[in-house]
Structure 1
Amino acid sequence: MDTQQVLELMQRVAAEVITPRFRSLADGEVMEKNPGDLVTIADQEAEAILTRELAAAYPDAFILGEERTATDPTALDQFVAADHAFTVDPVDGTKNFVHGSPDHAVMVSEVRGGETVRGWIWQPEHEVAWVAEKGAGVFRNGAQVTREPVADGVAPQGVTSIWPLRGHSLGDLPPLTGSWVCCGVDYPRLIEGATDYILYARNSPWDHSPGTLMVREAGGVAGHPDGTPYAPTGLTPGIIVAADKGTYAAVRRLAADAFARRD
């Protein structure tokens, strides 16, 4: 499949099994994988279709789906070992979806040799598509976008999904606020300039592989508190996403205590 065909597949799946359930989930269509970790019939059906279609187009690739990982303890190991793979997050921001927020997304990425080479985010309720190819830029609804660096002398603003850190400051930086609770919205918001950096504790490839590629293609940085670059097969906990190299370096120097308090 070419890049446009993958996007069209995601849009079709959303139109068929996700959007019709938005604010219309029936009793029994919302479950818990673990306490507080929700999954819906839309997640399950969307992942099944996306996995089937990608596997048919790329029979030698390993397809790592979020819901597959919840039931197959070997899935992450197979993904890390694969030379060619795709990640699938059928409904990123499931809690938002369940509670009627439009901030949810379908996300897919392609990984070759441990590196993300293509990424897609489709926000069905916002009708916004983000697409990136390594070395070719990132596009919002077909228009290429870049992220301006934080201006000299301006303190970068940050958000986080690490809830205990909301309201806390890194050094003399402004207090952190909560993210949009959906990586498929968080990463685009950073590119659009709504925030300058993001802190994440968990590192699930289906959450971060598409967006990190997009941020990098827009001119930003994605790495870990120890300074190593983000890689989808690394699975290293703790991620710093930043608008530019200077912001990443400044936040990284201040983030050790924050990540120590992440739980």
Structure 2
Amino acid sequence: MDTEAILGLLKETAAEVITPRFHQLAADEIVEKRPGDLVTIADREAEQRIGARLADAFPSAVIVGEEAVFSDPGLLSALAGADHAFVIDPIDGTRNFVRGRDEHGVMVAETRGGITTRGWIWQPMTGRAYVVERGSGVRLNDGAVTRAQHDRAPLGASSKKRLVGYDADGHLSPAVLSHFCCAFDYPAVLHGDIDFMAYTSMHPWDHLAGSLMITEHGGVSRTVEGLAYTPTSRGKGLIIAGDTVSWMAAQQYWPVA
């Protein structure tokens, strides 16, 4: 499967497995994995479908899906030493999906030797597809991704409500809430709607595809300790930014801990 075929797989899976259940989920089709962390029948079926198709096409690749790792955390250890792997987030923004919000997406990343080489974000409700290949940049529906320029202090967003409105004594613009969905947060940074995002969770299914898009577009994706984000990154948090100046401002003033 080439890059476009994998994007087609995401679109097909969304059209046949995910979107038919949008606004149609029964109570018994939603489960709370841990407090506030939801999974639906659509998450599980989408992950199984995408994973099975990728496994057929790439029989030697390690397939790591968010829901499979929840059931068996040991699966994540295979990613570190994998010569070739795919990481699947079947529905990013599941809570939004359950609540009937458009801000949900399907994300897949490919790694080779621990380096992210390709990534896909598909937003079923907007029809926007972001695709990245290492060394070849980011595309939005086969066109270029443009970043708006603003004459303001760096503007950040956070999913942590306690941080919203924090302005670091005027060094940063007041923060706004994230979309609670990396499939929308990363594009917001790509387009310059916001300048940075601060995350406290660093799961590879949430960040691998988007991080490659950010860096291929001239931005920065590093842990708060200043290390480039990788499939095995650990630490106190992750900051992504559209440029180095915004990232450094966020690292200095943004209380992610």
Mapping of 1:126-145 within 5 angstroms? 126-145=126-145
Q: Percent identity?
A: 47
Which residue matches 2:196?
A: 197
Question: Gapped runs of 5+ residues in structure 1?
Answer: none
Which residue matches 1:101?
A: 101
The amino acid across from 1:170 in the alignment is: A
SS in 1 for 2:224: coil
Would the aligned equivalents of 1:166 and 1:178 in 2 still touch at CA under 8 Å?
A: yes
Would the aligned equivalents of 1:167 and 1:177 in 2 still touch at CA under 8 Å?
A: yes
Out of 154, 165, 168, which is 2:166 matched to?
168
Mapping of 1:155-234 within 5 angstroms? 155-172=153-170, 173-234=172-233
The amino acid across from 1:39 in the alignment is: V
The amino acid across from 1:234 in the alignment is: S
Which residue matches 2:88?
A: 88
The 10-residue stretch of structure 1 (114-123 or 141-150) with the greater mean CA deviation from structure 2: 141-150
Which residue matches 1:44?
A: 44
- Displacement after TM superposition at 1:240 (Å): 0.6
Which residue matches 1:59?
A: 59
- Displacement after TM superposition at 1:76 (Å): 1.3
- Displacement after TM superposition at 1:75 (Å): 1.3
- Displacement after TM superposition at 1:163 (Å): 2.7
Residues 58 and 237 of structure 1: CA distance in aligned 2, closer, same or farther (over 3 Å): farther
Separation in 2, partners of 1:225, 1:116: 20
Instruction: Write the deviation string for residues 8-62 of structure 1: whole angstroms up to 9, x where unpaired.
Output: 0010011111000001112311111112110000000000000101111111111
Would the aligned equivalents of 1:89 and 1:207 in 2 still touch at CA under 8 Å?
A: yes
Aligned residues: 256
Residues 237 and 75 of structure 1: CA distance in aligned 2, closer, same or farther (over 3 Å): farther
SS in 2 for 1:28: helix
SS in 2 for 1:108: strand
- Displacement after TM superposition at 1:149 (Å): 6.1
Instruction: Write the deviation string for residues 214-237 of structure 1: whole angstroms up to 9, x where unpaired.
Output: 111111111111111111222334
Would the aligned equivalents of 1:117 and 1:134 in 2 still touch at CA under 8 Å?
A: yes
Residues 144 and 79 of structure 1: CA distance in aligned 2, closer, same or farther (over 3 Å): same
Would the aligned equivalents of 1:238 and 1:259 in 2 still touch at CA under 8 Å?
A: yes
Which residue matches 1:249?
A: 248
- Displacement after TM superposition at 1:162 (Å): 2.4
The alignment yields a C-alpha RMSD, in angstroms, of 1.3
The amino acid across from 1:50 in the alignment is: I
Separation in 2, partners of 1:120, 1:100: 23
The amino acid across from 1:205 in the alignment is: P
The 10-residue stretch of structure 1 (47-56 or 79-88) with the greater mean CA deviation from structure 2: 79-88
Would the aligned equivalents of 1:138 and 1:146 in 2 still touch at CA under 8 Å?
A: no
Residues 170 and 57 of structure 1: CA distance in aligned 2, closer, same or farther (over 3 Å): farther
Residues 149 and 84 of structure 1: CA distance in aligned 2, closer, same or farther (over 3 Å): farther
The 10-residue stretch of structure 1 (78-87 or 110-119) with the greater mean CA deviation from structure 2: 78-87
- Displacement after TM superposition at 1:193 (Å): 1.8
The amino acid across from 1:14 in the alignment is: A
SS in 1 for 2:42: helix
Question: Gapped runs of 5+ residues in structure 2?
Answer: none
Which residue matches 2:22?
A: 22
